Amino acid sequence: MQLITILIVAFLGAGIVYLIGKISGKARDILAVLASLIVVILVSLAYNQKIYTSFYPLPFLNLSLTLRIDPLSWFFAIAVAGIGFLSILFSLEYMKHYQKLDFYYSMMLFVNAGMLGVVLSADFLSLYIFWEIMSWSTYLLISYKGGKAVGAGLKYIVMSTVGSIAMLFAIVSLYTSYGTLEFSSLASLLQTASSGYILFLLIMFIIGFGIKNAIWPLHTWLPDAHAEAVSPFSAVLSGILVRIGIYGFVLVMYSIVGLNLLHKLGYGLLNFNYILCWIGAISIIIGTFIALLQDDDKRLLAWHAIGQGGYMILGISFGTTLGIAGGIFHTLNHCIYIALLFLVTGAVEYRTGGVRDLNQLGGLIKKMPVTFIGGLIGISGLIGIPLTNGFVSKWLIYKTLIMEKHPFLAFVALIGTWGTILSVYKFLHNIFLGQLPEKYKDVKEVPWAMRLPMIILTSVIILFGILPGIPLNVISGIERSFGIKPLSTIIFGMPREIGELNIINILAAIVVAGVFIYLIFSLSTRSRRVNQYDNYAAGSFIPKDKYQYSVRFYDPVYRIIGPYLRDVVDDFYYWLVEKSKSFFQGVRQIYTGNVNTYALYILLFLAFLIITKIGWGLW
């Protein structure tokens, strides 16, 4: 009953918010926040419980729609509920000047309800129904602003539909083969299935979950979607909705198929896990280094969402205790810091009139100190700097690569981190550091409804960075449920037997280094304030409204290498679309509406059959 209550509150809240909005905008806003908060509380109360319930029988299929809560589903459910609540709270001020707010808040709650349904499902039919609810609600929110957003939404829903069809093939195949779609029953029945059939199922599900997770080469919808979606929804989209794909990977690979069968799929370099590792590695390189070339802050973060998804795939693909723990933990960490960074960009947009071009910003550190701290801690988590959550999960992934003796994959992951440092420093520097353009001299910090979600997410990044044992204890329970040896943890890190990681020692070293640096700077000469335009760089006058000489500094290089930096996968999809349009346009010519033409088609077909029959007889 508890799981049904969660979904009733989630879905009913979406409907009531829409209706109440027709009467009172203030009541709508309050109800949207309360509905999302109640869901957080209900999911929290389900911690450490094991519940299985049937909520809708389908006698004509001899199936029932079922729900369950276990460590894996709870882990993702609390992330969905938490990010959803904070994004709706942030929306109260950010969305004030937008139209159709009844629709917006209703769809935000509907997306969250769909995601909760996906992670709480105990059978593939329930999962598929909630998956479609989530996907179509996402399409409506991506397209919310109209104009270019509609094109971005269509690109998303076309690719999402392809993924859904692939998943449907696998689901129908499972039902016709075994007569059930329940996860627990299939986990037992599939142990006797052939390797070829298991591989077919995994490929179908990887297409579906991979498109949602935006892994290479199924990634091309994500940058456009982020560029056009409103920032609070971008926090949900990149923070948790995209990572429902990782949930799907983990569910199918380790909860249903199982580790023993996975290891039997292929040999050597053609092993299933190894191929998936390299898909993750390619996603890291492509996502990270295309991010480096972006001047739009949201596109920069969108490409990092693709790159960081590669780290998650890299971790879970190995099937080891450390690897799975690192991949799942990095999924949670990414939810937190990328949601924070999208809220930071939303706060900057809110105060600068919608500016997202990194070349037009700068110097906002003193005007928006809370937003700056959120941006600083967010990029620190993204890089994986010690004392942030991203450091621990990346440490687990790196250690996995080293222990499994994959130096090239480890080098790719390291290259990805270098690229991340370069691009996110550009993000922080161009928004908050340097000189403040005169047009932003009256900018103020955002209202408290927008500050509070950023403060909470910032605090969680530090909390899980210093006390990683809190989430890792839940992840150990997930591994235990898979029949895999659970990760051994302590509240401050890892015990000695798996390679000691003690965050307290790192914290002490950083505090000592920080005090030393502070003393050096406090004894140095004070800086002197000058007029914004009273400064030069290498003898060149800094252009008006451009706070630093490095603005568009690399344009000559970009002109040279630009033709080679195109997303060839995206180009291929567009080519495929054009060829498909031409083909179907040709097919349409068959339907002329003339009865004589159709009679001729029938005669030609009969002639073909006769000739074929005669030819077959002679042969």
Quote the pLDDT of residue 384: 84
Asked if residue 616 has pLDDT above 60, the reply is no
d(CA 487, CA 474): 10
Asked if residue 552 has pLDDT above 80, the reply is no
Quote the pLDDT of residue 476: 85
What is the value of pTM for the model shown? 0.83
Quote the pLDDT of residue 573: 64
CB count within 10 Å of CB 296 equals 16
Q: pLDDT for 558-584, tens place per residue?
A: 676 666 666 666 666 666 667 677 776
Find the length of the chain: 619
Q: Which residue has the higher pLDDT, 552 or 300?
A: 300
Kindly list the domain boundaries of the chain, sorted by start residue: 275-523, 592-619
d(CA 392, CA 472): 10
Q: Which residue has the higher pLDDT, 514 or 297?
A: 297
In which band, very low, low, confident or very high, does the pLDDT at 4 lie, cut at 50, 70 and 90? confident
pLDDT mean across residues, the chain: 81
In which band, very low, low, confident or very high, does the pLDDT at 163 lie, cut at 50, 70 and 90? confident
Quote the pLDDT of residue 600: 73
Quote the pLDDT of residue 568: 66
Percent of the chain with pLDDT over 90: 10
Quote the pLDDT of residue 399: 85
Q: Which segment of 105-109, 269-273, 506-510, 548-552 scores lowest on mean pLDDT?
A: 548-552
Q: pLDDT for 322-343, tens place per residue?
A: 888 888 998 999 999 999 999 9
| Max CA separation in the chain (angstroms) | 102
Give the pair of three-digit tokens for residue 122.
Answer: 């105990």
Give the pair of three-digit tokens for residue 392.
Answer: 């621990």
Quote the pLDDT of residue 344: 92
Q: pLDDT for 60-81, tens place per residue?
A: 777 888 888 888 889 999 999 9
**Using omega within 30 degrees of 0 as the cis cutoff, is the peptide bond preceding 217 cis?**
yes
Give the pair of three-digit tokens for residue 470.
Answer: 């809190």
Listing DSSP states for 330-344 in one string gives HHHHHHHHHHHHHHH
Quote the pLDDT of residue 366: 84
